[in-house]
Amino acid sequence: MEPYNACKASVPLAFHRNALQWEIVTRREAAKVIGGTAAALVLPISAEAKSESITMLTRAIPSSGEKLPVIGLGTWQAFDVDLGGNIQKQLEEVLSQFVKLGGRVIDSSPMYGRAEKVIGQLTSALRLRDKLFIATKVWTEGKQSGIQSMDRSTALLRTERIDLMQVHNLVDVNTQLATLQEWKQQGRIRYTGITHYESGALNEIEKLMRNQKFDFLQINYSLMEPEAEQRVLPVAQERGIAVIANRPFGSGDLFSKVRAQPLPDWASEVDCHTWAQFFLKWIVANAAITCAIPATNKPHHLEDNMQGGIGRLPDAKLRHRMAEFVSSL
């Protein structure tokens, strides 16, 4: 199904592709500052640590009480690949490690090229479906077009029921939300939600949160893009809406910002050993956030990201210090 052209024009593919490539480059540069090589970005989980009861922090979905790990996995660009050879082995390792380290939430969209198909093939081959919380989106105008899109996503993901279906970028949001409620009642999806990637949409999002019924909101939220915490996140708590934090590294801009800086010593107070963990812990320390979804197709980045949901989290005072430190660079 051809995506809604107005949205397609507002989110140039080249922009997102360049943003991801920039994130990969700047993350590598940041790693060199910390440990001398790109591999030093990750502080491996030792055998001793694994033997201890180190578990991923979880948050409850307000509408049901079901708990989700605070670190999930995004798939934009990272899973938009042709399977085979090294990339297939790499993605299989990413998914296996994701589950092993306590992850559940995998987020995708028809907008993400081959990602839904790749997720479906790999999770089926690895027999991981029952251990995952699969989220995707509908991104088109019209009721029937939305139904066709969701049917296609369900087939590509090789599942009988999708855990979370979201209206992508609010496209024809009222029409699609009505269908999502029907599908939820029929048991074809478990949760409903909306998404957007621009801070300019926050006013419309707030109105929808107050006037429509849905379970999840997915928005950008990071040290680079903190605008949602002013009004939207408090409303989410008030209305009992789970929040997925998208673009947690600011499309790589955060790694660019810190690439010449060592991690401050005081970051160890909340078990941060890398910049990725620093950025993620700042996000998930906000009680309104249910899950953050950094995207990666690299096993060592995946392990690093997952540790952002393990151990101590910063309190309000330390979060403020973290934000001031990054903004001063």
User: Greater confidence, 25 or 180?
Assistant: 180
Residue 19 backbone dihedrals phi, psi, to 5 degrees: -65, -45
Query: How far apart, in whole angstroms, are the C-alpha atoms of residue 194 and residue 200?
Result: 15
**Tokens matching residue 144:** 């029937």
Q: Can you give the pLDDT at residue 17? A: 36
Q: Can you give the pLDDT at residue 7? A: 39
Query: pLDDT grade, residue 32 (50/70/90)?
Result: very low
Q: Can you give the pLDDT at residue 14? A: 37
Which DSSP state fits 113? T
Closest-CA residue to 103 (of 77, 135, 151): 135
Q: Can you give the pLDDT at residue 286? A: 98
Q: What does the pLDDT average to over 284-308?
A: 97
Q: Can you give the pLDDT at residue 54? A: 75
Q: What does the pLDDT average to over 96-109?
A: 97
Q: Can you give the pLDDT at residue 198? A: 87
Query: How far apart, in whole angstroms, are the C-alpha atoms of residue 264 and residue 197?
Result: 30
User: Greater confidence, 12 or 216?
Assistant: 216
Q: Can you give the pLDDT at residue 260? A: 83
Residues 6+ apart with CB under 8 A from 61: 67, 68, 191, 215, 216, 242, 290
Which domains, from first to last, does the chain contain?
5-41+59-327 (3.20.20.100)
DSSP element (H, E) containing 59? strand 58-60
Query: pLDDT grade, residue 27 (50/70/90)?
Result: low
Q: What does the pLDDT average to over 250-270?
A: 91
Is 90 exceeded by the pLDDT of residue 313? Answer: yes
Query: pLDDT grade, residue 8 (50/70/90)?
Result: very low
Torsion of CA 77, 202, 195, 55, to 10 degrees: 80
Q: Can you give the pLDDT at residue 234? A: 97
Closest-CA residue to 118 (of 93, 91, 141): 91
Instruction: Kindly list the distances between the CA atom of residue 258 and the CA atoms of 221, 242, 265, 328, in Å, as whole numbers in the listed order.
Output: 18, 30, 14, 10
Give the helix, strand, coil percentages of the chain, each rounded to 5: 55, 15, 35
- Mean pLDDT estimate for the chain: 87
Which residues lie across from 246 on neighbouring strands?
220
For residue range 132-191, what is the model confidence (pLDDT) as tens digits? 999 999 999 999 999 999 999 999 999 999 999 999 999 999 999 999 999 999 999 999
Query: pLDDT grade, residue 122 (50/70/90)?
Result: very high
User: Greater confidence, 94 or 11?
Assistant: 94
What is the share, in percent, of the chain residues with pLDDT greater than 90? 79
Is 60 exceeded by the pLDDT of residue 79? Answer: yes
What is the share, in percent, of the chain residues with pLDDT greater than 70? 84
Is 80 exceeded by the pLDDT of residue 329? Answer: yes
